[in-house]
Amino acid sequence: MSTTRSSWQPGLPSLATGLALLRRLGSVLVTLLGLLALTFAIGRVMPVDPVLSIVGPDADRSTYEQVRAQLGLDRPLSEQFTRYLSELSQGDLGRAVLSGHPVTEDIARVFPATVELATLSIVIGTALGVPLGVWAAARRGRWADHLVRLISLIGHSTPVFWFAMMGLLVFYAWLGWAGGSGRVDLTYDGLVASRTGFLLVDATLAGEWAVLGSAVRHITLPATILALHAMAYIARMTRSFMLAQLGQEYILTARVKGLSESAVLWRHAFRNCRVQLLTIVALTYGGLLEGAVLVETVFAWPGFGQYLTSSLMLGDMNAVMGSVLLVGLLFIGLNLLSDLLYQVFDPRTRATRH
C-alpha cells in the first residue's frame, strides 16, 4: 500500500510571494516614471515662466538668460529630464522658486499639516461610513436604506469646495462655532515649538491647552467636510459588500441556527467583507492626502495642497515634480500596505499546504 507524500515545500510560497511583489513593484515604478515624464513635459510647455517668477518682469535680457541657464532651461527637454532623474537618484529634488529652500525641506514642513487633517478626516469618515453601510444593507429597500443612499449620493457628488464655503459661512461667520482660516488663532501662532509637525500632538506634549483648544476649533470644520466626502464613499461601498455577503448560503445557515441579527451582521457578514474595505479605506485616505487642495485653499490651511497650488501658479516645476513624486509614492505605499493587510486578515490569500 503506497502513501502519498505531502508536496508542500516551505520555501516555495515565500518565493512565489516575493516574485509577485517584485513584479508589482516593477509595474508601479514604471507607472511612476511615466507620471514623472508626463508631468515634466507638461510643466515645460505651461504658459507660466518660472524664470520671470525669480527675476521679475523688469529684469534685463542678460539677467533673464543667466538665470535660465542656471536652471538648465536652455537645454533640450530630454537632457533636462535625464538631469532631473540623475539628481533624483541622489535624493535631490532641487530648490523651490517660491521659498528658495530645497523642495524636500518645504514638503517636510507643509506635509504634516495635511496628514493631520486627512488622518482625522478618514477616522471620522470610517467611523461613520462603515456602520451606516452595514445599517443600510441590513434594511435593504426600507426608509433607512434610502436615507443612507441619499446621504451618500449628496456627499459624493456635491463639490467639496461648496461644502467648505457653506461651512465657513454657517459655522464660522454666522454661528461662531468653528475657527477661521489657518491651523490656530493668530494669538497662539508660533507659541508651540514644532517637534513633530502635528500641531495637536505638539500642543499636547507642550501642555499648551489653550493652543490645543484653538487648534481643535480650527481643524474640526475642514476635517468634518473632508470626512463627509469620505464617509459617503465608504458607506456606499460597505453597503455593496455587505449585500453581496448577506446573499450567501452561510448567512442563511447562521440565521437558521438562531444567531441574533447583530451576530449575523458583524461576526459573519462584515468579517468577510472587512478585507475589501481595507483597500477602500486605504485608497480613500490617499485621496484625502492628495485631494485636500480645495479645502486647504478655502480654509487657508498651510498644508501640502496649498503648497502644490502655489507652485503650479508660479510654474515652479521642482516643487510640482517633488509633490507629484510624493503623491505617487503615497498611493504605491498604500496599495502595498493593503496587499499586506489582505495577507493578514484573509486566510484565503495565504499560501496553503497541500
Domains in the chain (CATH in brackets) are 107-314+330-349 (1.10.3720.10)
Identify the pLDDT of residue 92.
81
E strand spans, 194-244: none
DSSP readout, 257-317? TT--HHHIIIIIIHHHHHHHHHHHHHHHHHHHHHH-HHHHHHTT--SHHHHHHHHHHHT-H
Among the listed residues 339, 349, 352, 345, the one whose alpha carbon sits nearest the alpha carbon of residue 271: 345
Tens of pLDDT, residue by residue, the chain (354 residues) = 444 444 444 444 456 666 766 777 777 778 778 877 887 777 766 666 777 767 777 777 888 788 778 777 778 878 888 888 888 888 788 888 777 788 899 999 999 999 999 999 999 999 999 999 999 998 888 998 899 999 988 888 888 888 888 988 898 889 888 888 888 888 888 888 888 889 999 999 988 999 999 999 999 999 999 999 899 999 999 999 999 888 888 888 888 888 888 888 888 888 888 888 888 998 899 888 876 788 888 898 988 888 888 888 777 878 888 888 888 788 777 877 777 777 666 655 554 444
Residue 95: HSE in the Cβ half-sphere, 13 Å Cα cutoff: 9
Question: Structure pTM?
Answer: 0.81
pLDDT at 4: 43
pLDDT for the residue numbered 271: 85
- Give the Å distances, CA to CA, from 322 to 100, 103, 185, 270, 339: 14, 7, 30, 39, 26
